[in-house]
Amino acid sequence: MKLSELHVGAHAEVTSVGSEPLVRRRLMDLGLIRGTALRVLRVAPLGDPMEIVYKGLYLTLRKSEADGIGVRLIDTESAPEAGEQHLRHRRRFGRAS
Amino acid sequence: MKGRQEITVALTGNPNAGKSSLFNAITGAHQRVGNFPGVTIEKHEGYVDYKGRRITVVDLPGTYSLTPFSPEEIVTRRYIIDQKPDVVVNVVEGANLERNLLLTVQLMEMEVDLLVALNMIDEVEEKGIEIDVKQLQKLLGSHIVPTSARQKRGIDSLLDHILRIGDGVIEVGKNKLTFSPEVERAIVKISGLLSHETALEGSNHRWLAVKLLENDREAYHLVQQHPVWVRVELALQEAITECERLHRTDPEVLITEDRHAFIRGAMQECVRQPNAAKSSLTDYIDMVVLNRVLGLPVFFLVVWSIFQVTFSLGAPLTHGLDLLFGLAGRALEPLLPDPLIKSILIDGVLAGVGGVVVFLPNIVLLFIGLSFLEASGYMSRAAFVIDKVMHRFGLHGKSFIPMVTGFGCSIPAIMATRTLKSRSDRLATIMAIPFMSCGAKLPLYVLLAGAFFPPATAANVMFGIYLLGIVVGLWTAWMLKSTVLKSDSEPFVMELPPYRWPTLASVIFQARMKAVMYLKKAGTLILAAVMLIWASSNFPRSRDLEAGLAREKSRIESSSATPERKAAELSEASTKAQAAQLEYSLAGRGGKILEPLIRPLGFDWRIGIALVTGLAAKEVVVSTLGTIFSMGHAGGGAADLASILRSDPGFSQATALSLMVFVLLYIPCVASIGVMKKEVGAWKPVLIYTGYVLLVAWTASFLTYRVALFMR
């Protein structure tokens, strides 16, 4: 499912970020990576850019840009931040000697 | 290194992290604005004398990251690498630490002498967020100073830390983030290869390797020039295949995700957020301001207010300045004996300076309004609301406000395009702006529509003219964006910052900077051009005409007419002489040379002169028409210009329409061309654009004239 297909109010988790390089880079820099839980907040009055919220950040993007973001709906009742748990926790980072 | 007198500090941070406020709090009034070489990004530099030392602070543009995709990020990166500031201060917004730390992590990777300013600490306390600064320091390896630019807290402590880092008293930990094993293996391999390349000696090999794996354009360019590239490319290919096999994604994504994972870990260890995520004031405001029904009305209300403030509030000030210059002229007049010197000083210099200065109230007011919108957070929301319309013409939502401003005056409008980040978006917007019919063109429309159309139709004619301008402007932008400016559109991906009250100081500072910039850069050019046009409409002087006027004057003086009659005859004689002199001048000759070119549009040489002098400022078109058409008119000063034009055989309804269209579309005034050159950065595109507008104006006027003749 694509981010652009979500309705206002939907909760979802990012499964892939595959927009064109420039957009993808910008999205990832703003912390929209695989595993991020987000909510669709609203669409603009004229129906195009949409606003999503995740990790306390309010982000607007055009639907054409949201097309490249794969999402899957999450159950908000049981775990509001379910998405966060799917972050890869491979190892702790720290100082290298 | 120790105890140097001067220390250079670079300020970095996310947009909206309060970087500029902190910069203002540190440097106070000791600031100047320049540009970074090659780009139109403003470079704010300031200094502070602290404990007998001079600390120079460079405010780098706000960025979320250090990729080479946006000019801001390239500027930031190049500055840090090439200029090697003694200390890099990373301003982070305390209440949004997680997002801000991405830049911090990337600065750590660059191994600069980093100091973190944990800014807006007052907001952190208000929200009840607890940050374990000590533990975070341990994880990041650099010192963290809590600051609040608004409350002027922590500034001295920040400066102390800067001095100590600059002097080497504090050793900044050279942190090395470790990435996923496959990425790490590739980094070790590639940096090993790079270290054997003598040409790359002195650069940070590990950082370069990470950047190469991130598919970084600039890093590629750097390494591709050297023989080692053959082996590096192979290693990169290997890494990509490996990541694809193990994680079904590329190294770029893995590296970014690793950074975020590190930040996530640090957040969990060091930050306690109060659980209940209450709706903030911003949420409530946005419920109204971005509402599906109310969003557009609110948007138009805001744009209308900005317009009103700029031009209605500015009008009396502009008028006052105009009066002031007029008074100065009249005060000066009796002091100057020679008529030529008088003309140079009053009509040339004084009028030229006046012509530049009268725009100042508008510019200052507009930028007070715009920087208020920008700093309060509404500007991004305006772009959000209107983007769909603008995007249809290939433009960005942020193009709207500058374009609307163009209806008042192109100059501040062109200057306001600086909010647009991508160069192609900016250029397209700048080139659409002159078609938004500016206030100076209005007197001509009023004159012509009033003279040649009944009142009911006149309003429709004027509306049609404005509409034509909008259509041609948007068409121009669309055409540019779908051909020469196709590349490099800014993605709309944009953060909506929380609403904040801008500090008065920063709003005033912005407006002052714009005013100074306008006066300094545009002022010189505009002044020179206005003088040139003045000279061409006054020279060469005809001795015969001057002698004739003198004869005429003495004849009138010695005649037996009543004093009133004498005064009227005198003024008529001098108007006639003025008109004849204008015809004799370079501008007059230019008008005559132009005649064959503009004949098809229904214009004779007299209109040609008005078009030439109109290059100085569009209001001048009306006054030139006034001077030149009253020449040879029997009624003299008794008739108003509208009826003179109506009764003139060279002027018909079709001519009037054609002239309005031409003035709407043809070359903008020299002032806007000057500002355009300044903002575009080169003459060539401006000159090509000038040719284009002339072509468009000619074609549109020709069609208008022919259709109007046919309809009659």
Quick one: B85 and B20 in the same domain?
yes
Q: In which band, very low, low, confident or very high, does the pLDDT at B475 lie, cut at 50, 70 and 90?
A: very high
B492/A17 touch (CB, cutoff 8 Å), yes or no: no
Q: Does A47 touch chain B (CB under 8 A)?
A: yes
Q: What are the residue ranges spanned by the domains of chain A?
A: 3-76
A33/B102 touch (CB, cutoff 8 Å), yes or no: no
Which domain range does residue B238 map to?
Answer: 181-272
Q: Note the pLDDT tens digit of each residue in B358-399.
A: 777 877 887 788 888 888 888 889 889 989 988 888 888 888
Quick one: B53 and B138 in the same domain?
yes
**What is the pTM (predicted TM-score) of this model?**
0.76
Q: What is the pLDDT of residue A50?
A: 94
Residue B87, domain CATH: 3.40.50.300
Q: What is the pLDDT of residue B440?
A: 78
CA dist., res. B699 & res. B697, Å (int): 6
Query: Stretch B86-90: mean pLDDT, rounded?
Result: 93
Residue type for B445, please? Y
CA distances for B604 relative to A21, B502, B537, B607, B635, angstroms: 56, 54, 17, 6, 21
Quick one: B159 and B190 in the same domain?
no
Q: What is the pLDDT of residue B526?
A: 61
Q: In which band, very low, low, confident or very high, does the pLDDT at B703 lie, cut at 50, 70 and 90?
A: very high
B495/A43 touch (CB, cutoff 8 Å), yes or no: no
Q: What is the pLDDT of residue B521?
A: 57
A89/B261 touch (CB, cutoff 8 Å), yes or no: yes
Q: In which band, very low, low, confident or very high, does the pLDDT at B637 lie, cut at 50, 70 and 90?
A: very low
Contacts of B492 in chain A (CB under 8 A): 49, 60-62, 65
A34/B253 touch (CB, cutoff 8 Å), yes or no: yes
Q: In which band, very low, low, confident or very high, does the pLDDT at B40 lie, cut at 50, 70 and 90?
A: low
Q: What is the pLDDT of residue B548?
A: 81
Residue type for B366, please? L
Of B102, B175, B293, the CB nearest to A29: B102
Q: With helix as H, strand as E and coil as C, how does B351-376 read?
A: HHHHHHHCCHHHHHHHHHHHHHHHHH
pLDDT above 90 (res B68): no
A93/B177 touch (CB, cutoff 8 Å), yes or no: yes
Q: Note the pLDDT tens digit of each residue in A6-27.
A: 999 999 999 988 878 888 888 8
Q: Which two tokens stand for residue B296?
A: 């557009």
B296/A25 touch (CB, cutoff 8 Å), yes or no: no
Q: Is the torsion defined by CA of B644, B647, B650, B651 positive or negative?
A: positive
CA distances for B679 relative to B258, B663, B672, angstroms: 40, 24, 10
Query: Stretch B5-29: mean pLDDT, rounded?
Result: 87
B296/A47 touch (CB, cutoff 8 Å), yes or no: no
Shortest Cα distance from A58 to chain B (angstroms)? 5
Contacts of A17 in chain B (CB under 8 A): 253
Q: Note the pLDDT tens digit of each residue in B99-120.
A: 899 999 999 988 888 999 999 8
Q: Note the pLDDT tens digit of each residue in B238-253.
A: 888 888 888 888 888 8
Q: In which band, very low, low, confident or very high, does the pLDDT at B591 lie, cut at 50, 70 and 90?
A: confident
pLDDT above 90 (res B432): yes
CA dist., res. B267 & res. B3, Å (int): 36
Nearest alpha-carbon partner for B21 in B56, B46, B40: B46
Q: What is the pLDDT of residue B535?
A: 79
Q: Could you tell me which residues come within 8 angstroms of residue B397 by beta carbon, excluding any fewer than 6 positions away? A: A49, B382, B383, B384, B385, B386, B387, B390, B391, B492
User: Among A9-13, B496-500, B684-688, which stretch is predicted with the lowest mean pLDDT?
Assistant: B496-500
- For an interface test with A, which of B135, B384, B488 has the most A Cβ atoms less than 10 Å from its Cβ? B384
Quick one: B223 and B143 in the same domain?
no
Contacts of B296 in chain A (CB under 8 A): 45-46
Question: For chains A and B, what is the number of CB pairs under 8 angstroms?
Answer: 128
Q: Note the pLDDT tens digit of each residue in B329-354.
A: 788 878 877 777 777 777 667 766 77
Q: Does A7 touch chain B (CB under 8 A)?
A: no
Between B667 and B36, the more confident residue is B667
User: Among A65-74, B25-34, B222-231, B378-387, which stretch is predicted with the lowest mean pLDDT?
Assistant: B25-34
Q: How many CA atoms lie within 13 A of B528 on its CB side?
A: 7
* Residue where a domain terminates, one of B236, B254, B272: B272
Between B542 and B146, the more confident residue is B146
Between B317 and B473, the more confident residue is B473
A96/B387 touch (CB, cutoff 8 Å), yes or no: no
CA distances for B61 relative to B12, B42, B44, B142, B468, angstroms: 7, 8, 9, 22, 38
Q: Does A59 touch chain B (CB under 8 A)?
A: yes
Nearest alpha-carbon partner for B414 in B523, B514, B527: B514
Q: Considering the domain A3-76, what is its CATH architecture? A: Roll (2.30)
Contacts of B392 in chain A (CB under 8 A): none
3-state secondary structure of B92: strand
pLDDT above 70 (res B175): no
Quick one: B40 and B161 in the same domain?
yes
Q: Is B705 within a domain? A: no
Quick one: B153 and B204 in the same domain?
no
Q: What count of other Cβ atoms lies within 10 Å of the Cβ of residue B288?
A: 11
- Residues B658/B710, Cβ–Cβ less than 8 Å: no
* Residue where a domain terminates, one of B140, B166, B192: B166
Query: Stretch B548-562: mean pLDDT, rounded?
Result: 80
Q: What count of other Cβ atoms lies within 10 Å of the Cβ of residue B247?
A: 17
Q: Is B207 within a domain? A: yes
Q: Could you tell me which residues come within 8 angstroms of residue B316 by beta carbon, excluding any fewer than 6 positions away? A: none
Residue B215, domain CATH: 1.10.287.1770
Q: What is the pLDDT of residue B477?
A: 92
Q: What is the pLDDT of residue B488?
A: 65
B264/A87 touch (CB, cutoff 8 Å), yes or no: yes
Quick one: B28 and B95 in the same domain?
yes
Between B436 and B576, the more confident residue is B436
B384/A23 touch (CB, cutoff 8 Å), yes or no: no
Contacts of B98 in chain A (CB under 8 A): 31, 55-56
Question: Cα–Cα–Cα angle for B651, B657, B661, nearest 5°?
Answer: 125
Q: What is the pLDDT of residue B38?
A: 59
Q: In which band, very low, low, confident or very high, does the pLDDT at B276 lie, cut at 50, 70 and 90?
A: low
Q: In which band, very low, low, confident or very high, does the pLDDT at A87 lie, cut at 50, 70 and 90?
A: very low
* Residue where a domain terminates, one of B114, B131, B166: B166
Nearest alpha-carbon partner for B183 in B258, B123, B127: B258
Q: In which band, very low, low, confident or very high, does the pLDDT at B522 lie, cut at 50, 70 and 90?
A: low
Long-range contacts of B683-691 (CB under 8 A, 24+ apart): B685/B427, B689/B431
A45/B295 touch (CB, cutoff 8 Å), yes or no: yes
pLDDT above 80 (res B32): no
B491/A33 touch (CB, cutoff 8 Å), yes or no: no
Q: What is the pLDDT of residue B321?
A: 83
Q: Note the pLDDT tens digit of each residue in A54-80.
A: 988 899 999 989 998 999 998 765 444
Quick one: B120 and B240 in the same domain?
no
B290/A51 touch (CB, cutoff 8 Å), yes or no: yes
Residue of B nearest to A33 (CA): B257
What ipTM was predicted for this assembly? 0.81
Q: Is B237 within a domain? A: yes
CA dist., res. B294 & res. B638, Å (int): 54
Q: Is the peptide bond preceding residue B337 cis, with omega within 30 degrees of 0?
A: no
A30/B493 touch (CB, cutoff 8 Å), yes or no: yes
Contacts of A48 in chain B (CB under 8 A): 387-388, 391
Contacts of B180 in chain A (CB under 8 A): 90
B256/A33 touch (CB, cutoff 8 Å), yes or no: yes
A89/B260 touch (CB, cutoff 8 Å), yes or no: no
Residue of A nearest to B387 (CA): A49
Q: Is B34 within a domain? A: yes
Quick one: B162 and B193 in the same domain?
no
CA dist., res. B103 & res. B80, Å (int): 13
CA dist., res. B425 & res. B402, Å (int): 12
Of A17, A31, A43, the CB nearest to B99: A31
Q: In which band, very low, low, confident or very high, does the pLDDT at B39 lie, cut at 50, 70 and 90?
A: low
Q: Does A75 touch chain B (CB under 8 A)?
A: no
The total number of structural domains that make up chain B: 2
Q: Note the pLDDT tens digit of each residue in B658-675.
A: 999 999 999 888 888 888
Quick one: B88 and B160 in the same domain?
yes
pLDDT above 50 (res B500): yes
Quick one: B68 and B161 in the same domain?
yes
Q: What is the pLDDT of residue B634?
A: 46
CA dist., res. B354 & res. B94, Å (int): 49
For the residues of B562-588, what is the DSSP string, one character each? -HHHHHHHHHHHHHHHHHHHHHHSHHH
Q: What is the pLDDT of residue B692?
A: 94
Residue of B nearest to A63 (CA): B492
Q: What is the pLDDT of residue A93?
A: 46
Residue of A nearest to B141 (CA): A95
pLDDT, averaged across chain B: 84
Q: Does A8 touch chain B (CB under 8 A)?
A: no
Contacts of A21 in chain B (CB under 8 A): 215
Residue of A nearest to B179 (CA): A93
Q: Is B250 within a domain? A: yes
CA dist., res. B85 & res. A83, Å (int): 41
Strands (E), B231-369: 271-272
pLDDT above 70 (res B578): yes
Q: Is B11 within a domain? A: yes
Q: Does A29 touch chain B (CB under 8 A)?
A: yes
Contacts of A57 in chain B (CB under 8 A): 96, 99, 495
Of A30, A47, A93, the CB nearest to B265: A93
Q: What is the pLDDT of residue B433?
A: 94
Q: In which band, very low, low, confident or very high, does the pLDDT at B706 lie, cut at 50, 70 and 90?
A: very high
- Residues B685/B427, Cβ–Cβ less than 8 Å: yes
Q: What is the pLDDT of residue A86?
A: 42
CA dist., res. B599 & res. B162, Å (int): 70
